[in-house]
Amino acid sequence: MHRTLLAGGLGTLLLAACGGGGGGSDGLGSQPAAVGTAGTGGTSGAAGASTIGPAPASPAASSVLTGVSRLVVAGDSLADVGTFGFKFTVQDAANPGGFPVLPELVAAGFGLSGSCSYYMDNGAGGTVPRGDASCTNFAVGGARIFRGDGPKRITAQLSDAGAAIGSFGRGDLVLVDGGGNDASELAAAYVAGVTSRTGLLAFLAFLGREVSVRDLLSTVRGADSLARSAFLYMEDAADTLADAITVHALDRGATRVAVLNIPDVTRTPRFAAAFEKLVQQEGADEAAAIQAAVRQVVGAFNARLQSRLGNDPRVVLVDVRAAVDEQIARAAEFGLSDVIHAACPVTGLSSVGLPEWSLQTCTSALLDASPGAAPGWWASWAFSDGFHPTPAGHRQLAETVTRRLAAAGSP
């Protein structure tokens, strides 16, 4: 297989990761905690849009935190609680509300009930406001910082949240995640850019939509110039997110804002499959170089986010990347039996032979019925599909967030 064809296939795979939301996160936490057995039973199949509501409270910390009376959320699939009628994890066959995910678990840590999505599916692939003022979760699966229409931009979500809330009070906690889909999309363009002239031109056009020509021309020529251009893109993404948080939350009175950075997305099953294929066709050195570049892009985003928001006492930055790395290294101590593979079955193959999954049809009943496995076997796995956490992964991430909030205290 020619290098350009393989790179195109990897690029397609990375873009597919964006399509399901994900934020590039694998939803792992930073403190060891036992993982319970997920509920089973009922009828398989994803719940319809009209049936997704607040999930039952499931505390994410050993003790209930205090001082928060309302949770306001913006982000991607990691924080989406049912915009499109399902959650981006294993579907709970026994409960149409689904297993609780990150924001619901964080809310439960403060003794609050689960939240509902501010937006809903408009039936044509877009979203419209649900019309319920009590719904303060503005996250939408597949959202990015750059690009996207309406709520598919996290900045637009924050703008809508600010307009809907008006002024934030001391009892409000704002939770924001994002950047993972931007990193995945950039990685796809970068892979094509370093492997073909056509891809290079497309990569430069991709960058030019968000990075000024002057900044692009200022990069040093040579082997590292494309990587540096990619860093500029993600640094601009971090600046854009920080600006939106400042204007639409902090300037409106928010005194407690939790912002998640993005983990090493190359450690997800989806990326692992792509890199394994790259090793087979082009060798370990090529795969390692691409993985290193993607990791550096993630690092550029996280570092800029830290420099922009890390010194503001109203902001609590949650280092998801460090948490994920620790989780993978010490999986057993966190009650996880598998941090490498996807629990949901592969439903098809892409045009280049890479696995694809369907979260809408991946139910607890389906997994419990897996031949030769005991019911609940998947409850200690970290990944549901190639990019998104299981309910256990969400619990671990929620533990990380609530512990970080507890350590930071109130501003």
Q: Position 394: which residue type?
A: H
pLDDT at position 218 is 59
Architecture of domain 3-408: 3-Layer(aba) Sandwich (3.40)
CA dihedral sign, ordered 201, 206, 207, 209: positive
164's tokens:
């809907």
Residue that the structure tokens 């671990």 belong to = 396
Query: Which residues touch 249 (CB under 8 Å, ≥6 apart)?
Result: 72, 158, 161, 162, 168, 174, 176, 257
Q: How confident is the model at residue 188 (pLDDT cuts 50, 70, 90)?
A: confident
CA-to-CA distance for 408 and 411, rounded, in angstroms? Answer: 8
Answer yes or no: are the C-beta atoms of 140 and 18 closer than 8 Å. Answer: no
Query: Which residues touch 278 (CB under 8 Å, ≥6 apart)?
Result: 6, 10, 286, 287, 290
Query: How confident is the model over 322-343, as a mean pLDDT?
Result: 94
Q: What is the pLDDT of residues 68-93, one digit of tens each?
A: 999 999 999 999 999 999 999 999 99
pLDDT at position 24 is 35
Of residues 51 and 178, more confidently modeled: 178
pLDDT at position 241 is 98
From residue 260, alpha-carbon distances to 91, 113, 150, 310, 400 in Å are 24, 22, 22, 12, 10
Q: Position 340: which residue type?
A: I
pLDDT at position 107 is 95
* CB atoms near residue 218 (< 10 Å): 11
Q: How confident is the model at residue 201 (pLDDT cuts 50, 70, 90)?
A: confident
Answer yes or no: are the C-beta atoms of 47 and 149 closer than 8 Å. Answer: no
Per domain, the residue ranges of the chain are 3-408
Average pLDDT taken over every residue of the chain: 82
- pLDDT at position 32 over 60: no
- pLDDT at position 12 over 80: no
CA-to-CA distance for 323 and 44, rounded, in angstroms? Answer: 33
Q: Which of 267, 200, 238, 270 is nearest to 17 (CA)?
A: 270
pLDDT at position 195 is 60
Q: What is the pLDDT of residues 283-298, one digit of tens each?
A: 899 788 888 888 999 9
CA-to-CA distance for 287 and 93, rounded, in angstroms? Answer: 39
CA-to-CA distance for 84 and 154, rounded, in angstroms? Answer: 16
CA dihedral sign, ordered 133, 139, 142, 147: positive
Q: What is the pLDDT of residues 245-279, one digit of tens each?
A: 999 999 999 999 999 999 998 889 988 888 888 78
Query: How confident is the model over 280-285, as a mean pLDDT?
Result: 81
Q: What is the pLDDT of residues 111-149, one digit of tens each?
A: 998 789 999 999 988 999 999 999 999 999 999 999 888
Reduced to 3 DSSP states, what percent helix, strand and coil does the chain have, rounded to the nearest 5?
45, 10, 45
Kind of pairing between the strands at 348-349 and 355-356: antiparallel
- pLDDT at position 176 over 90: yes
**383 strand-pairing partners:** 342, 389
Label residue 14 exposed, middle or buried (CB < 10 Å: 0-12, 13-18, 19+): buried
DSSP string, 238-296: HHHHHHHHHHHTGGGT---EEEE----GGGSHHHHHHHHHHHHHH-HHHHHHHHHHHHH
Of residues 179 and 31, more confidently modeled: 179
